[in-house]
Chain A
């Protein structure tokens, strides 16, 4: 694959979309204001009119808008997902990002000319899976699950005829995406069908002596003494006891930053970099987009000064290259 790597940035609101475009995003991804997408948070996402305005704003500046419709329609409730696909086509979205086989089947049949990307929520991490989505539904791009190292991504790209997009920055799932029922187990609300993980509606902070205890549903996920800044109790980033020892068993409260790996990812044949964070504000979108725009544009790739520029806005203030380095496992 040739040409400059594409920068795909998040937008939870119309101002964030405009900020991303202004800061140099090649494409912006967004979702409708319902459970058809994996960031179904209160006060977030786009009405149909807002998406129309966002598409117009981006297209006027030569940029693209992708619409994420990446949750799984439950049995007997296909209509809202079908409507989302129909409206994405009608409003001129440049691509839809889908995960469900049934919805891909519908989109292929009803809107054959609407470009289809495969969401990370579909968990396609091998050539057989990617080839299947390509042949069956004409999927043009696959967002890779965060389970592969850079050499594995290079091998995968050599084996498939589809563009790949990888996460470069932001909140990071530790579990294979689209295959995690932890949140549903504790709260009854799952990423796959409700578009939420560890939802705020089920979070409580309780003062207990010197500590602030963070609970999700009926379970304590973490506790913060005076020495630690209280964080959000995302289940897989909590502290638990195993083998008589308390630790961040699954993952530390870190976020992904693959900026230093940008040249390696480009050499591995990756077509696009994705920034996580549709739930984050306009300032975050502006700052991260600008930093990655500069890094991509710098002929030699990223310098450490760009990575440093983002340290302040990462989750918990700390970052990791995650699964891109094999030692993470």
Chain B
């Protein structure tokens, strides 16, 4: 008997960057109308100081997405530090409405006993951790970026009822800190930062002393300069039985890029064709897939190397 291979759902991760509220709202309106995503994650995950700007437009964004038939999940902060952030987290957890994604283990604790998602910045590396979180109500887990394909394969299907999601596109969040590097680069303090992170819609470029592009700073978050690109790995992810494939928003056309990933997942487009189209949709972008292949995350291997 042939085993039916299910096709993974496509999801859109939360906007990581400090976009003006209007741009942020319009981005999601267009995703609602034209994006090929089954699930859309919304919410400020990097800096608590930004959240008030999005709060006024959040309800209409959620409503528009839901009306368009998308599942909406509210993403929550990566780092819950001092007493104020802890209190805000408790308030978020107490609200009824869309399902929440925990990006700090403290939030996962607050959501115990009801269905919730585990985000990619919660450390899930093995079957026993996954199983424990499932027993406490987690229904979906987006695995950390640094997990190699071999680990993903082991975790898919390891725990009944726990869907596995893998991030396949966008700059890779590599670290989070209490310190704001955007403010530091502008010689400002975090408490009086003037929201300078808004100046870099895809993150602030960080070069080495040789002038080589290296990282991107997004407030307290440090990302890779290169964009993760698992287009060439989609057939493998599908064969593993991965439940969801997530793209992380950048200022590129995320509707068109979503359609590319969807087409490859559906077997409607060859990987080589999709790679060449992505290069046009993300002009100047350099790509990486090293983590998936068990190598340094920055590396571009296999079909990705051939495409460069």
Interface of A with B (CB < 8 Å)? Answer: 72-78, 99-103, 105-106, 122-132, 136, 146-149, 152, 155-156, 159, 174-176, 178-182, 184-188, 190, 192-193, 213, 217-223, 236, 239-243, 245-247, 249-251, 323, 326-329
B206, A329: Cβ atoms closer than 8 Å: no
Cβ proximity bits B72-91 to A, threshold 8 Å, 1 near / 0 not: 00000011111101100110
Residues of A with C-beta under 8 A to B67: none
Residue of A72, A146, A222, A249 near B217 (CB, 8 A) is: A249
Q: Tell me whether B154 is interfacial, beta carbon within 8 Å.
A: yes
CB atoms of A175 and B222 under 8 A apart: yes
Known: A147-B178, A180-B174. 9 other contacts (CB 8 A): A73-B125, A74-B125, A106-B128, A123-B123, A125-B106, A128-B80, A128-B90, A185-B174, A186-B297
Complex interface: chain A residues within 8 A of B304 (CB): none
Q: Is the interface of B mostly helix, strand, loop or mixed?
A: mixed
Please, which residue of chain B has its CB at the minimum distance from the CB of A219? B208
CB<8 Å pairs between A and B, sample of 13: A72-B123, A75-B127, A76-B150, A101-B105, A101-B128, A123-B123, A126-B81, A178-B123, A181-B175, A185-B298, A220-B212, A240-B214, A242-B204
Determine how close the nearest CB of chain B comes to the CB of A155; give it in whole angstroms.
5
- In the assembled complex, B107 has its CB within 8 A of some CB on chain A: yes
Q: Is B269 an interface residue (CB 8 A)?
A: no
Residues A152 and B82 in contact, CB atoms below 8 Å apart: yes
Question: Taking the nearest CB of chain B, how far is it from the CB of A235, in angstroms?
Answer: 9
Find out whether the CB atom of A122 lies under 8 angstroms from the CB atom of B179: no
Contacts of B109 in A (CB 8 A): 128-129, 131-132
CA distance A209 to B186 in the complex (A): 31
B residues in contact with A222, CB < 8 Å: 209
Say whether B294 contacts A147, CB under 8 Å: no
Q: Is the CB of B224 within 8 A of A185?
A: yes
Residue in contact with A102 in the complex, picked from B78, B106, B132, CB distance below 8 Å: B132
Please tell me which one of the listed residues A105, A131, A184 contacts residue B128 in the complex, with CB atoms under 8 A apart: A105
A192 vs B174: C-alpha distance when bound (angstroms): 12
Q: Is the CB of B211 within 8 A of A73?
A: no
Task: Pick the contact of A246: B90, B123, B209, B298 (CB < 8 A).
Answer: B209
Inter-chain contact A329/B89, CB cutoff 8 Å: no
Instruction: List B136-166 residues whose CB lies under 8 Å from chain A.
Output: 144-147, 150-151, 154-155, 158
Closest beta carbon of chain B to A138's beta carbon, Å = 14
A249 smallest CB distance to B (angstroms)? 6
Say yes or no: A188-B79 contact (C-beta < 8 A), given A180-B174, A223-B209. no
Of the candidates B80, B125, B172, B174, the one having the most CB atoms from chain A within 10 angstroms of its own CB is B125
Instruction: Check if B210 is an interface residue, CB within 8 A of chain A.
Output: yes
Which residues of chain B have C-beta atoms less than 8 A from A327's C-beta?
189
Interface residues of B in 283-300 (CB under 8 A from A): 290-291, 294-298
B123→A181 contact, CB < 8 A:
no
Which of B112, B133, B174, B206 has a CB less than 8 Å from the CB of A241?
A: B206
- B80 near A126 with CB under 8 A, answer yes
Cβ-defined partner of B79 (8 Å) among A75, A105, A125, A240: A125
A78 and B126 within 8 A (CB): yes
A140 to chain B, nearest CB (A): 18
